[in-house]
Amino acid sequence: MAAAEGIEVKLIGAWPSPFVLRARIALNLKGVEYEFLQEKFGEKSELLLRANPVYKKIPVLLHHGKPICESMIIVEYVDEAWPAAGRAILPADPYERALHRFWASYIDDKLNPSGAALSKTQTEEAKVEAAGQVIAGLKLLEEAFGRLSKGKGFFGGDDIGYVDIALGCFLGWLKVMEKTSGVKFIDEEKMPLLAGWAERFCAHEAVKAVMPEPERLEAFARKRAASAKAPPANQNTF
């Protein structure tokens, strides 16, 4: 691993969180050694509250004791803090870098809320509408992949980059949604570029050791749903 002598890196998070997964993949890409400090479901540790007093949520990266918050900010920080370790996560060209940031923002601002809405639907009509929004968003990303990848295997080109991390962290949960909703979201015929990309992403050395299995995520989702139905107990979620 490439962590320099004397470097202390800790990550406050939890294994089911796709946002924490982003930070773990970025650290793995750069070969940075770190200690994973897992939060307990339904609780917020004193360390987390001190490190992120504004949002009070994971992930938080601690580098020499200094906290960095918000998943994609952490990804950029890792890229800049260890420039000589591995390849760059963001493109060097300013325009290309802006494009990658744009699509990462689209994933968080548009695609992720659509997926969250689908998981909360109560009627068949609402499920169909929410699933359609997710598929429409993925179709846009299929088109974006064709432009950003320049014919190579990842949004970042030859290797995983910024948009790959932003979208790839949701692949495990997407499989859970496919099972629970009965909808195929990344269809091999309709979205061949994303389908191939998803397989390559999950098989990547920086990803496969930390990507949660869909079955484990599904079990966690059931546990969380059961807790939500229990009498109020000042619970927090990821």
Pairing mode, strands 66-69 and 9-13: unpaired
The closest alpha carbon to 74, from 115, 153, 16, 13, belongs to 13
pLDDT for res 42: 86
pLDDT category, 19, cuts 50, 70, 90? very high
Instruction: List the beta bridge partners of residue 37.
Output: 12
CATH code for the structural domain at 94-203: 1.20.1050.10
Q: pTM for the whole thing?
A: 0.91
Q: What does the pLDDT look like over 92-111, one tens digit per residue?
A: 999 999 999 999 999 999 99
Q: How many residues are listed for the chain in this entry?
A: 238
pLDDT for res 229: 67
Beta-carbon-side half-sphere exposure of residue 174 (alpha carbons within 13 Å): 21
Q: Is the pLDDT of residue 238 over 50?
A: no
DSSP assignment, residue 110?
Answer: I
Domain 1-86+223-238 is found in CATH 3.40.30.10: yes
DSSP assignment, residue 157?
Answer: B
pLDDT category, 235, cuts 50, 70, 90? very low
pLDDT for res 231: 47
> Which tokens is 217 given?
């995520």
How far is it, in rounded angstroms, from Cα 51 to Cα 60?
7
Q: What does the pLDDT look like over 42-53, one tens digit per residue?
A: 899 999 999 999
Tell me how far CA of residue 49 lies from CA of 17, 43, 59, 66, 108, in angstroms.
17, 11, 12, 14, 23
The closest alpha carbon to 165, from 92, 84, 73, belongs to 73
Map out the domains of the chain as residue ranges: 1-86+223-238, 94-203
